[in-house]
Amino acid sequence: MEAIQLSAAMLRNQAPELVLRLGSTVAARVLERHGARGLITIGNAVLAAELPDQVRAGDTLRLLVQDATGEKVTLKLVHQEGAQQSQSQHPLAASVPLPNGGFARIHADQEGEGRGGSREERSVALTYNSPALGSMQFRLSVEPRAVAVTVRAAPGPPHAAAEEAANELRDALARVTGRAAQVTVLPREDPVDLYA
């Protein structure tokens, strides 16, 4: 895969002002490379990253924020000649207005594969930064006969609130989609920075 992987914890610790929204593009420069890892700059931030084989020190890259959930942030290489094509490859990336006046960014996985690698499964990832509950991560997977949502919320009140609403969400999904629905609520696991 032509993508760069960043540690979400490192990004929060070293560049808290850097906001990477799903579906947005950013410019980066490769400072150095050592095997599969190297240093890149995005804005004023210098970050350690896992690099694809074709990326070399000194390269200037255009990157699409493909996934920003869990422990890793995935930035897909966008080839300059394929800039128009990149838009057509992500037709389900959109900003959705929220009741509080904010916006949530929704992005459909390009590969369309999820658990088990089924080609018939389609997934959408959503991260919502709630003023009351903090960052809530959702992954909606739709198969021909079923729909499943995994919700990740911070331990404590956010996790308890998500668990309390899980049955209501499951029933609403089944009603709207006409499929068997499942909702799984998990604690959000922020990675531990072992170098701190």
> Is 92-187 assigned to CATH 3.30.750?
yes
Q: What is the pLDDT of residue 84?
A: 36
**Structure-block tokens of residue 160:** 């308890």
- What gap in Å lies between CA 167 and CA 62, rounded to an integer? 42
pTM given for the model? 0.44
- pLDDT (0 to 100) of residue 43: 76
CA distances 139 to 57, 108, 160, 182, Å, are 35, 10, 18, 12
**Residues of the chain below pLDDT 50:** 80-93, 107-118, 192-196
| Statement: 3-88 belongs to CATH 2.40.50 | yes
The pLDDT of residue 180: 93
- At residue 13, the pLDDT reads 81
Which pair of tokens denotes residue 189? 């696991």
- The pLDDT value recorded for residue 90 is 41
Q: In the numeric block, which tokens belong to residue 28? A: 């980066």
- Let me know: does 29 contact 59? Beta carbons within 8 Å: yes
Residue 94 has which token pair? 């959109």
* Of 171, 195, 191, nearest in space to 183 by CA: 171
DSSP letter, residue 120: T
| Domain positions in the chain | 3-88, 92-187
